Amino acid sequence: MSYILNLKNKKGWIELITGCMFAGKTEEFIKRLRRYQYADQNIIVFKPAIDNRYSEKEIYSHSRMNIDAIPVNNSDEVKKIFEENDKIKKIDVVGIDEVQFLDEGIVDLLEQFASNQIIVVASGLDKDFKNNPFKNVDKLLVSAEYVDKLTSICHKCGGNGTRTQRIVKGKPAKADSPLIDIAANEKYESRCRHCFEEPK
């Protein structure tokens, strides 16, 4: 019988936390980064500047857990800020929240980090409000070493919520409404496969 080499010393991989809204992705994201902090790992956390729901420089979960994060507009900014910080102290862990809101260059960058002894913890929605795969998360689902797909409770029936329904004036949003629309007047509900109403 042959034994696989012990690769414990080879650090560097991608952990993806995904699922629909209200599934606790941000809590899981923050919890996981905190664990690395407790282990004295140097962490750096980014979030898309588009998502400033609660705070400019922190990420808050719906239950008010928080962690410091640097707002960025694109993947080039992530690269630059990472390189500047890595000069001061070697970064061990990179966290990136709402990864679906950044440009597609972020996937390659995260791949490079993971190949260079960095642990990447990424979080993002797997599907948009039309139930189509969200960019970046679609590719990370394939390339990540570890994927946790979280579910929520269906707003209608209490079943297993796996989809995000955008509601405008009490009705499912139309299919031609913009994909990313954070500050608008709509609200979101999580729905199961059966209660999700396909936007028309």
CB of 156 to Zn ion, least distance (A): 4
CB of 165 to Zn ion, least distance (A): 10
CB of 162 to Zn ion, least distance (A): 10
Which residue of 41, 92, 156, 177 would you call a contact of Zn ion, by CB under 5 A? 156
Looking up tokens 């009705």, which residue turns up?
Answer: 171
Which range touches Zn ion (CB under 5 A), out of 19-27, 28-36, 59-67, 156-164? 156-164
Q: Are 18 and 143 in contact (CB under 8 A)?
A: no
Query: Is residue 154 a contact point for Zn ion (CB under 5 A)?
Result: yes
Beta strands of 20-138 (E only): which ranges? 43-48, 58-60, 66-68, 70-72, 93-96, 119-125
157 is in an annotated binding site: yes
Query: Is residue 192 a contact point for Zn ion (CB under 5 A)?
Result: yes
Looking up tokens 């905190």, which residue turns up?
Answer: 34
Looking up tokens 């750096």, which residue turns up?
Answer: 44
> Both tokens of residue 160?
């297993």
Query: Is residue 153 a contact point for Zn ion (CB under 5 A)?
Result: no
What is the spatial distance between Cα 55 and Cα 1, in angstroms, rounded to a whole number? 55
Catalytic residue among 15, 58, 84, 98: 98
**98 included as an active-site residue:** yes
DSSP string, 137-151: HHHHHHH-SEEEEE-
Q: Are 120 and 107 in contact (CB under 8 A)?
A: no
154 is in an annotated binding site: yes
Q: Which residues are annotated as a binding site for Zn(2+)?
A: 154, 157, 192, 195
Residues that bind Zn ion (CB under 5 A): 154, 156-157, 159, 192, 195
Q: Which residues are annotated as a binding site?
A: 19-26, 97-100, 154, 157, 188, 192, 195
**Residues known to be catalytic:** 98
